[in-house]
């Protein structure tokens, strides 16, 4: 078969496909006969419906189905013959002027680009590392204590202080008018833990049960509530209850309450250290991987198939709708989500996907079985029952595909870091964890 490929743009191509009308008609008749064996119609026994009745009722849909199948098959054969790597589904349009007995179609489509990877030895990439210090372990132990703290009511004569849990009623007004979300009764928060704006936090310090006070509060310009951002409100606060917190001592009883069989403080600190090192490793990998991907985007020149970008936009839009559903948003399926908000990120994802695929192909960076196993084992150690987590991963192809993608990206990261000019930087533990 001789296939003529017409170049329309950088990646856009067109092929003309021709099908024999007799072949289409024979296939339609064959499928209608097969359908007649099972179709039901009033006045006829099953399997005895005349072919003319079946054709009248189902002829159009069967013909459409046959045309789709035949055109799809013809396109696949033509693309294979021309050795084309087709990106996305082709656009098919019937063409006028076909010879007698023939039906002609134009198939317009995009092909994958040639990926040209620049000289990575000239790329400068920042590689970060972080040490798990004793201070980081202390901070984590303190978090564990707070997770198991208790509260006891303070004597009436004592005012609210740092780390106390207070119960208040409050009402805020802007220019004398109430605003949405500005009023609550029986509201609880812990002073000094950042649950409230700092001005609000300071205002309740020192208040006693039964006291009320009014104070001004300036909302930040970047406050998440758009309707009040940058505005000043007057708040009336009434103190209902003050409770002092009690943190458990870090002793054997506390350690055993965390599920450690060896109830020593040393064992607790060692366990915390292992968990922090594992978390730090994953975060450092993610940050270094992002730096490598940025370098790859800059170093590689390629045209990106629009069809692949459109497909990625559709997936991102669907994911956004699913997220809205989980958040309880009404009519999430109908919510207006402009496709253009995802366009830059979708294009970057497609571009990186093509570059990474070329690096993997050219340098043998595919995920090895032992790498997959090691990654799953490492992730599983973060859970209470690692063996169950490993079975959960290994029993599902989709989950294993996700693991494979992570391992391949790690391989690419190490490969690029081995070529590039690496600038090592030590990042403080708190900075890494808060990023």
CA–CA distances in Å: residue 208 to residues 151, 155, 157, 240, 412: 17, 9, 7, 8, 60
What DSSP string describes 210-256? T-EEEEEEE--TT-S-TTTTT-EEEEEEEEEEEEEEEPPPSSHHHHH
pTM comes to 0.73
Angle subtended by helix axes 265-299 and 343-363, to nearest 10? 90
Average pLDDT over all residues of the chain: 91
**Cβ–Cβ < 8 Å for 162, 202:** no
78-110 pLDDT, tens digit per residue, is 999 999 999 989 999 988 888 888 899 999 999
Domain 150-246 CATH assignment equals 1.10.357.10: no
**Cβ–Cβ < 8 Å for 432, 280:** yes
Domain 255-434 CATH assignment equals 3.40.50: no
261-272 pLDDT, tens digit per residue, is 778 999 999 999
pLDDT above 70: percentage of residues in the chain:
100
37-81 pLDDT, tens digit per residue, is 888 888 788 778 888 888 888 889 989 999 999 999 999 999 999
The architecture CATH gives domain 5-111: 2-Layer Sandwich (3.30)
The residue extents of the domains of the chain are 5-111, 150-246, 255-434
CA–CA distances in Å: residue 294 to residues 49, 123, 344, 425: 65, 10, 14, 17
pLDDT at 167: 96
pLDDT at 345: 94
- Residue ranges of the chain with pLDDT lower than 50? 1
Q: How many residues does the chain have?
A: 435
- Sign, CA dihedral 47-48-50-53, equals negative
pLDDT at 412: 95
């Amino acid at each position: 078969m001789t296939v003529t490929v017409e170049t329309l743009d950088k990646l856009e191509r067109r092929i003309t496909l021709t099908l024999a009308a007799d072949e289409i008609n024979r296939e339609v008749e064959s499928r209608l006969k097969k359908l007649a064996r099972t179709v039901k119609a009033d006045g006829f026994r099953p399997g005895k419906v005349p072919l003319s009745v079946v054709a009248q009722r189902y002829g159009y849909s069967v013909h459409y189905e046959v045309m789709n199948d035949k055109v799809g098959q013809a396109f696949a054969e033509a693309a294979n013959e021309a050795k084309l790597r087709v990106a996305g589904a082709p656009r098919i349009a019937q063409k006028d002027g076909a010879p007698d007995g023939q039906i002609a179609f134009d198939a317009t489509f995009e092909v994958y680009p040639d990926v040209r990877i620049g000289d990575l030895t000239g790329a400068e990439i920042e590689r970060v590392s972080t040490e798990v210090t004793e201070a980081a372990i202390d901070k984590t132990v303190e978090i564990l204590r707070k997770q198991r703290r208790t509260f006891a009511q303070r004597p009436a004569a004592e005012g609210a202080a740092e780390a106390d849990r207070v119960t208040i009623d409050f009402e805020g007004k802007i220019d004398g008018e109430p605003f949405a979300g500005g009023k609550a009764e029986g509201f609880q928060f812990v002073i000094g833990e950042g649950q409230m704006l700092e001005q609000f936090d300071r205002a309740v310090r020192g208040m006693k049960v039964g006291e009320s006070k009014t104070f001004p509060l300036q909302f930040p310009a970047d406050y998440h509530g758009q309707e009040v951002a940058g505005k000043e409100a007057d708040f009336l606060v009434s103190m209902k209850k003050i409770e002092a917190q009690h943190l458990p001592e870090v002793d054997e009883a506390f350690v055993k309450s965390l599920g450690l069989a060896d109830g020593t403080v040393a064992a607790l600190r060692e366990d915390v250290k292992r968990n922090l090192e594992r978390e730090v490793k994953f975060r450092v990998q993610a940050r270094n991987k992002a730096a490598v991907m940025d370098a790859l985007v800059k170093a590689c020149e390629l045209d990106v198939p629009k069809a692949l970008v459109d497909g990625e936009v559709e997936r991102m839009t669907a994911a956004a709708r699913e997220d809205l559903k989980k958040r309880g948003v009404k009519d999430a399926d109908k919510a207006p989500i402009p496709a253009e908000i995802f366009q830059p990120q979708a294009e970057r994802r497609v571009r990186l996907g093509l570059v990474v695929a070329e690096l993997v192909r050219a340098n043998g960076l595919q995920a090895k079985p032992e790498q997959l196993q090691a990654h799953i084992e490492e992730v599983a150690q973060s859970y209470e029952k690692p063996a169950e987590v490993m079975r959960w991963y290994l029993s599902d192809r989709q989950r294993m595909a996700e693991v494979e993608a992570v391992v391949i990206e790690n391989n690419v990261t190490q490969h690029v870091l081995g070529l590039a000019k690496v600038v090592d930087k030590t990042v403080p533990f708190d900075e890494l964890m808060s990023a």
